[in-house]
């Protein structure tokens, strides 16, 4: 059987490895950190930094296709890997999603609504941006942000200096605060032949910048539900995308506003493991392997809840509840804010 190389050994790589194994593939993880959660369930693991060209070369030689669960892989590593094996989703998706400014330009270039935004290179740039965008606003680093890290709220113009200090001078964008009623996301897939399939949008609640719960079905009018799926398809087609993508949206009185895209399986798609015949992980493996996509139809109402940090103390109780599927990531060390697992609660099957 073929071997799928996965860049990144976190829980997403772990669940991709399970899905790949079920379809008869082998997986090989490349991960700089020690004891990657994916390593326990993959067939092989390379532990090396992305700067180790010999390790990258050996990894590429050992696999047939390369995918990733982590979009911040350095460009030089991707150049080397991409010369040897296909990388799916492709480089364009990574180029766009690695940088919030490039991403916002791309999305607005497609005619989609995004928050008002401006490039912020320095203090002068920030004052100018606050002049045009106003407050409240959010200063976000262009690169490497996740779980709300690398962001500072600007409630009043006087907060500018503190916000800049918090981001330690990293290149940033200022985003106007979107007055949304709630947040939803679409987990969308595109196959090698260009077919697109979307899972039903989920409604997301964040706490302290971290996803707390995803509920399906989301509260959406039929028109918004259709918009969500169509705009996701437009993004995938524009990138000639292959694989699964998460598209985060704000629901507003003026319609849907795209927050950000993630070129990979997505935390807000974990409900599909227990709400669909083919989940987002299998869907991703199908897409990158050139298989037909599953249709993603939803057969239950589900609430996904992340188990973060000491939420792990609730596992004994959760394990006794009916209609609760536990998914634990095998991480030995509990840290505040660390995603340790999640549960999918079937609300109506």
Residue 99 touches which of Mg ion, ligand ATP, none (CB < 5 to 8 A by kind)? none
260 is in an annotated binding site: yes
104 is in an annotated binding site: no
Cβ count within 10 A of residue 61: 10
Residue 236 backbone phi and psi in degrees, to 5: -60, -45
306 is in an annotated binding site: no
140 is in an annotated binding site: yes
Distances (CA, A) of 58 to 16, 48, 85: 21, 11, 12
We find the least distance from the C-beta atom of residue 255 to ligand ATP, in angstroms, to be 15
Residue 333 backbone phi and psi in degrees, to 5: -100, 125
We find the least distance from the C-beta atom of residue 164 to Mg ion, in angstroms, to be 21
- Give, rounded to a whole angstrom, the gap between the first and last alpha carbons of the chain: 36
Query: Helix or strand or coil: residue 309?
Result: helix
Interaction mask 88-127, ligand ATP, x per CB under 6 A: ---------------------------x------------
Interaction mask 145-184, ligand ATP, x per CB under 6 A: xxxxx-------------------------x-xx----x-
We find the least distance from the C-beta atom of residue 332 to ligand ATP, in angstroms, to be 23
Angle between helix 280-288 and helix 11-22 axes, rounded to 10 deg: 70
Burial of 118 (0-12, 13-18, 19+ CB in 10 A): buried
3-state per-residue secondary structure call for 69-106: CCCCCCHHHHHHHHHHCCECCCHHHHHHHCCHHHHHHH
We find the least distance from the C-beta atom of residue 139 to Mg ion, in angstroms, to be 15
Binding range to ligand ATP, per CB under 6 A, among 143-151, 160-168, 190-198, 212-220: 143-151
206 is in an annotated binding site: yes
Using rule CB under 6 A, residue 341 touches ligand ATP: no
- Binding-site positions read 100, 140, 145-151, 175-178, 183, 206, 259-260
Q: Which residues lie near ligand ATP (CB under 6 A)?
A: 115, 138, 140, 145-149, 175, 177-178, 183, 206, 209, 248, 259-260
């Amino acid at each position: 059987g073929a071997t799928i190389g996965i860049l990144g050994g976190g829980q997403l790589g772990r669940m991709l490895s399970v899905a790949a194994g079920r379809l008869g593939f082998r997986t090989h993880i490349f991960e700089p950190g020690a004891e990657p959660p994916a390593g326990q369930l993959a067939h092989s693991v390379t532990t090396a930094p992305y700067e180790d060209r010999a390790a990258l070369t050996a990894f590429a030689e050992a696999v047939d296709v390369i995918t990733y669960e982590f979009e911040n892989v350095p460009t030089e590593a991707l150049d080397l890997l991409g010369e040897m094996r296909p990388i799916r989703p492709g480089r364009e998706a990574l180029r766009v999603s690695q940088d919030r400014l490039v991403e916002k330009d791309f999305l607005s270039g497609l005619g989609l609504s995004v928050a008002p935004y401006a490039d912020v290179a320095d203090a002068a740039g920030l004052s100018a941006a606050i002049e045009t965008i106003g407050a409240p606003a959010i200063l976000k680093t262009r690169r490497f942000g996740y779980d709300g890290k690398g962001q500072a709220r600007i409630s009043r113009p006087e907060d500018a200096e503190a916000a800049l200090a918090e981001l330690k001078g990293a290149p940033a964008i200022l985003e106007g605060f979107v007055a949304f009623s709630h947040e939803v996301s679409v987990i969308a897939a595109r196959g090698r032949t260009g077919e697109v399939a979307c899972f039903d949008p989920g409604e997301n609640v964040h706490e302290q910048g971290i996803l707390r719960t995803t509920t399906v079905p989301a509260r959406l009018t039929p028109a918004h539900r259709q918009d969500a799926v169509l705009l996701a398809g437009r993004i995938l087609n524009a990138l000639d995308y292959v694989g699964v993508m998460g598209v985060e949206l704000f629901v507003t009185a003026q319609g849907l506003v795209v927050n950000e895209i993630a070129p990979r399986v997505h935390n807000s798609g974990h409900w599909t493991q227990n709400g669909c015949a083919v989940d987002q992980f299998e869907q991703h493996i199908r897409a990158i392997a050139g298989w037909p996509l599953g249709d993603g139809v939803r057969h239950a109402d589900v609430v996904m809840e992340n188990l973060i940090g000491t939420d792990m103390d609730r596992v004994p109780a959760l394990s006794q509840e009916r209609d609760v599927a536990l998914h634990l990531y095998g991480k030995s060390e509990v840290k505040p804010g660390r995603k340790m697992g999640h549960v999918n609660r079937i609300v109506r099957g």
